[in-house]
Chain A
C-alpha cells in the first residue's frame, strides 16, 4: 500500500534537513582541501592538489598516522575478547545484579571524557607507563567499550538458546559449543563492534591529548594541536584522507556483514 502524500512530504522534509546537516561539513572540508590559496574557504579559490602534496611530505603527520593505526589496533585487539565475553555473558545468562553491572559498564559513557582522561593520566603516571603507545590503546578501549558490548549483545540476543541445547544434546562439550555455535552466531556483532572500536580509536583525541607527548603523538592530537594554532588547508586534506579511510571501513563492513546489522531489532 502506498503512503499518503502528506506523510511522504512531511517525512522527507525532515530527512532532507537531516541529510543536508550531516553532509554539509564533509563537503566543505572536501572542497576546501583542493584550494589553491592559503586559507580554508569554501568554495575554494582555485583548485590544486598542493595540500595533498604537502601532507604526503610531512613526515611528522605520517608518523602520527602510523601511531594512530597502532593505537587503534591495540584497542581493537583488546576489545574483541573482553567485549565479546562480556556481551555474551550479559545476553545469554542470568546474571545477578545485571542492572548494576550494566550501569557500571556504562561508566565510560557517564564519566566525561575529560574526567576519564585525567583519571587515567594519573593512574598510568603512577605506573610510570606514560610516553608509550599501549596505555593510549588501553584507554581508547576502555572509553569505547560500551559500544563493543552493545554490538555483541545485539547479535547474541538474536541467537536462540535452543541451538546450544541441541548441540549439547548431540554430545558437544561446553568449549566446542562455545567455539562452534555461539561464536559464529555473534560474529556479525563482533565484526561490527571491532570496526566501530577501530574507527573510534583512530579518531579519539581528548583522552589521547592527555596521554601522549611529542614522542608518541597520534594523528587526531596532531591535527587538534595544529588547528589550535593555525588553520591551513593541509588539515582539510588530512581530514579527507580520514574520510576516505572511514569510507573504506564502511565498505568493508558492508561487504563482510551488511550494514543492515544496525537495523536488527532488539
Chain B
C-alpha cells in the first residue's frame, strides 16, 4: 500500500499553492467580474490605438503655416471645412466608397461558390488543395502580389500576348479603375472565403437533399435554402471586405497609376508630400468615423454574423 505522502504528488501541491494565490488575488466574490479582468489586457492594448487617435484628433485641429512648416498653436476647424468643401476630397471619398461596395459584391459572388465547393466536397484532398490555394497568397504581402499583376497585365504581359495571338492589339489593362477593383477583389477573396466557410459548414447537407427531394432545382435550393441560412457568413465577409477595401492603400497606389487615389492614398499624400499633418489627420479621423459607423450600423441591424466574437446564448 502506498504511503499517504507519495499519494499527494508534487504537481498537486503546486496547483494548491497557485489556487490559494489566485483566490487571494481574485476572491470568489468577484467571480462576476472575471470576464472583465480577462478582457482588460486586450482593452489596454487597443487603448494604444485610442491614444494614437487622440493625438491625431489634436493634430487635425491645427493648420499648417507654410512659412515655418510648423503646425499652428491654436485650434481651428479650417481643416474640416476644407475636407468637406473641396472637390478633390469628395471625388476621392466617392471613388473609395463606390469601389468598396463594388468590390464587396464581386468578392462575395466569387467567394460563395469557392466556399461552397470547399465545404461540400467529399474529397479531403480537394479541400486541402483549395485551402492551401487560398492561404498561400493570403500570406504574401499585398505589394508583391500587386507587382505580380503588373507583370501579367502589362503591355508586354501574358494577357496581352495571349490576346495578340488572336489578333487583338495590346490593350491598356492597367492603371485604371477596373484594374484597381480587380486587384482589390483578388486580395479580398481569401478573407471572404474565410468568413463564409464556417457559416456554410453550419448548414446541414441534408437540407439541400430535402429541398431536392421536394422538387426544387439547384438554383431554387440556393436561392431559398442555402443563401438565407448563410446570412451570418455573408454579413461577416461583407463587413471585413468593405472595411478593408475602403481603407486600402497599396493596391490603388500600385495598380492605379497615380490617378485612382483612395482615401488612404490621399491621407498619405497629406502626411508625406505636402507635410500638412493637420489635413491628413482630419482625413484619417473622418475615415475612422465612416468605417465605424458602417460597422456599427451593420452590427445593430444584422448582428456580427461569423465575425462575432461573443457567443449568442444558445
Contact = CB atoms under 8 A, between A and B. Distances in A.
B230 to A, nearest CB: 11
Interface centre among B38, B43, B268 (most CB of A within 10 A): B38
B86 interface: no
A123 B284 contact: no
A262 B197 CA distance: 7
B164 to A, nearest CB: 15
Nearest to A180: B15
Contacts, number: 312
B146 to A, nearest CB: 8
A215 interface: no
A245 B42 CA distance: 29
Interface string A78-122: 100111011111111111001101111111111111111011101
A110 B38 contact: no
A255 B299 CA distance: 36
Interface centre among A12, A156, A243 (most CB of B within 10 A): A243
Contacts of B284: 111-112, 114-115, 118
B181 to A, nearest CB: 13
Interface centre among B19, B36, B143, B212 (most CB of A within 10 A): B143
B4 to A, nearest CB: 18
Given A145-B45, A250-B135, A220 B141 contact: yes
A89 B309 CA distance: 10
Contacts of B218: 3-4, 6-7
Interface in A234-263: 235, 239, 242-243, 246-247, 249-250, 254, 259-260, 262-263
A205 interface: yes
B199 A149 contact: no
A102 B42 CA distance: 11
Contacts of B313: 94
Contacts of B41: 81-82, 85-86
B45 A141 contact: yes
Nearest to B307: A150
A56 B249 CA distance: 31
Interface in B154-190: 156-158, 185-186, 189-190
Nearest to B254: A227
Nearest to A179: B15
A216 B141 CA distance: 20
Given A206-B250, A262-B197, A263-B197, A120 B135 contact: no
A24 interface: yes
B144 A19 contact: no
Contact of B135 (A11, A246, A264): A246
Interface string A1-37: 1011011001110110111011111101100100000
Interface stretch (A46-54, A57-65, A170-178): A170-178
Interface of A: 1, 3-4, 6-7, 10-12, 14-15, 17-19, 21-26, 28-29, 32, 40-42, 78, 81-83, 85-95, 98-99, 101-116, 118-120, 122-123, 126, 138-139, 141-143, 145-146, 149-150, 153-154, 156-157, 173-176, 199-200, 203, 205-206, 220, 223-224, 227, 231, 235, 239, 242-243, 246-247, 249-250, 254, 259-260, 262-266
17 contacts: A22-B137, A24-B152, A29-B147, A85-B41, A94-B313, A95-B36, A99-B299, A103-B295, A106-B307, A113-B247, A113-B264, A114-B268, A142-B48, A153-B309, A220-B143, A242-B141, A259-B128
Given A4-B218, A113-B264, A115-B284, 20 more contacts: A18-B113, A21-B186, A21-B189, A28-B151, A28-B152, A78-B45, A82-B42, A85-B42, A89-B35, A90-B39, A112-B247, A118-B52, A200-B139, A231-B147, A239-B144, A242-B140, A247-B136, A250-B136, A259-B135, A262-B194
